[in-house]
């Protein structure tokens, strides 16, 4: 079970060790359910009252979360009016404009009838009256929720799209929301699919912050955060929380991985710095994280060295869960990286743990080639045809034959013939044990 410690609990850092020992002894003797074990910023371990912590839960798999549950997409004016019946002043929804493609329409019930306000998309901004401008629909709705500002009424009650749950409410209920006032953004450290990735400070600790700034990527933000609430493993980058209170920006806050992506780490250090023991450790770290996903029925779908991060103490952790889904979900193949994706996933959209295993074989090749791009000297358009005819990359220079055999097992054209991540982890542990005794 995950726990988030309230600020009062962090103030215990001033307590003397003797006080911790006394509390620890008390809890052990009486097994008091009103106390929980905790560690403060300087590493001291002790016990804190149960009312200082809040229980965290993974957001239930299959929950359809939306940051804009009042957005109904492509519906007509008549359908909107039916949804807002019976009349209730302040009841509203937003839909795509049918008369002006690219614009939106705000539909508001007011004094027994429905008013339709065109939302104009102009110069990358949204506006109703060309006086107040907004970066996204969430900002616009928040503004008119606080003040009618020319509308027939203030927006009072959203008409939720059937089957959706407000993401803000669900993240708060399950204990994953953080406060913006506790976060300081320091500097940009990268760019991701959804926006900038920044180094931040959250209550004195370094964190990584994904910043999402527009409607187009807002729902993808929710999907990634939802997956991350359900995952907890030492070789997966850990979600610390989400911030959805500031409508100008949305944030996913994760642990900070000081040494960056594995591919950059391999390329910048190279053969002269990284020995075989280190390469094997990275391989084993990733296999353990992927074994956990396998056991919990999640498919990553974008496993590659660029999506593995390295911590200050050289632990490799799988990251970037933007495409991760339950094994039964389907996936558009438009954004998938050809050189890392299994043939059946590219050809038939068949994703499974076994397609992740194929990608793991490519990742092993990246590790032992110190970050080279796979399929060197082969044009991208020729990769898939050659692979489907049975082509396999040669072993990287200096790669142990036993590790290369693992790669080839991962690249079996029949997914059923590929090993499981559990088997891969066991084989890597066996290789490690043999090296220790040589």
210 a known binding residue?
yes
Count of Cβ atoms closer than 10 Å to residue 420 Cβ:
15
d(CA 132, CA 129): 7
202, two tokens: 């959250």
- The three-state secondary structure class of 348 is helix
Count of Cβ atoms closer than 10 Å to residue 230 Cβ:
17
Element holding 368 (H helix, E strand): helix 353-368
DSSP state of 177: B
Instruction: State residue 355's pLDDT score.
Output: 96
Q: What are phi and psi of 149, to 5 degrees?
A: 45, 50
d(CA 242, CA 383): 39
Instruction: State residue 88's pLDDT score.
Output: 94
Contact 5, 55 (CB under 8 A): no
As annotated, the active-site residues are: 302
Secondary structure percentages of the chain, helix, strand, coil, to 5: 35, 25, 40
pTM score, two decimals? 0.76
Predicted confidence pLDDT, tens digits, the chain (438 residues):
344 444 433 343 343 334 444 444 444 444 565 565 665 555 566 665 644 445 566 666 556 777 788 999 899 999 999 999 998 999 999 999 988 888 999 999 999 999 999 999 888 899 999 899 988 888 899 899 999 999 999 999 999 988 887 777 888 888 899 999 999 999 998 876 667 899 999 999 999 998 876 555 677 778 888 888 999 999 999 999 999 876 556 889 999 999 999 999 999 998 889 999 999 999 999 999 999 999 999 999 999 999 999 999 999 999 988 676 655 455 554 567 999 999 999 998 889 999 999 999 999 999 999 999 999 999 999 999 999 999 999 999 999 999 999 999 999 999 999 999 999 999 999 999 887 655
- The three-state secondary structure class of 317 is strand
d(CA 427, CA 431): 6
Instruction: State residue 238's pLDDT score.
Output: 95
């Amino acid at each position: 079970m995950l726990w988030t410690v309230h600020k009062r609990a962090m103030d215990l850092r001033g307590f003397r060790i003797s006080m911790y020992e006394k509390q620890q002894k008390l809890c052990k003797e009486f097994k008091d359910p009103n106390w929980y074990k905790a560690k403060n910023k300087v590493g001291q371990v002790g016990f804190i009252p149960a009312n200082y912590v809040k229980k965290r839960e993974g957001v239930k798999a299959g929950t359809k979360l939306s940051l804009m549950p009042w957005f109904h997409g492509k519906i007509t004016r008549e359908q909107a009016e039916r949804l807002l019946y019976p009349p209730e002043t302040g009841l509203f929804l937003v839909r795509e404009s049918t008369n002006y493609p690219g614009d939106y329409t705000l539909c508001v019930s007011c004094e027994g009838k429905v008013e339709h306000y065109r939302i104009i998309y102009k110069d990358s901004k949204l506006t109703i009256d060309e006086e107040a401008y907004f970066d996204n629909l969430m900002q616009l709705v928040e503004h008119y929720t606080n003040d009618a500002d020319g509308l027939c009424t203030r927006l009072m009650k959203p008409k939720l799209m059937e089957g959706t749950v407000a993401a803000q409410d669900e993240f708060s209920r399950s204990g994953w929301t953080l406060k913006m006032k506790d976060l300081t953004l320091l500097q940009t450290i990268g760019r991701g699919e959804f926006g900038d990735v920044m180094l931040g400070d959250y209550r004195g600790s370094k964190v990584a912050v994904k910043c999402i700034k527009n409607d187009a990527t807002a729902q993808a933000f929710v999907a990634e955060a939802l997956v991350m609430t359900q995952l907890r493993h030492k070789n997966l980058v850990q979600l610390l929380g989400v911030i959805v209170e500031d409508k100008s920006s949305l944030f996913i806050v994760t642990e900070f991985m000081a040494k960056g992506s594995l591919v950059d780490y391999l390329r910048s250090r190279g053969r002269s710095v990284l020995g075989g023991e280190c390469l094997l450790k990275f391989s084993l770290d990733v296999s353990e994280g992927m074994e956990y996903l396998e056991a919990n029925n999640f498919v990553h779908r974008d496993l590659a060295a660029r999506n593995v991060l390295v911590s200050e103490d050289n632990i490799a952790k799988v990251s970037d869960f933007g495409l991760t889904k339950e094994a039964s979900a389907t996936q558009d193949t438009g954004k998938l990286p050809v050189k890392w994706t299994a043939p059946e996933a590219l050809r038939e959209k068949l994703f499974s743990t076994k397609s992740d295993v194929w990608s793991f074989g490519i990742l092993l090749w990246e590790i032992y080639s110190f970050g080279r791009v796979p399929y060197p000297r082969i044009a991208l358009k020729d990769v898939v045809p050659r692979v489907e005819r049975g082509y396999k990359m040669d072993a990287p220079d200096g790669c142990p034959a036993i590790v290369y055999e693992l790669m080839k097992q991962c690249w079996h054209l029949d997914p059923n013939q590929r090993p499981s991540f559990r088997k891969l982890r066991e084989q890597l542990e066996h290789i490690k044990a043999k090296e220790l005794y040589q």
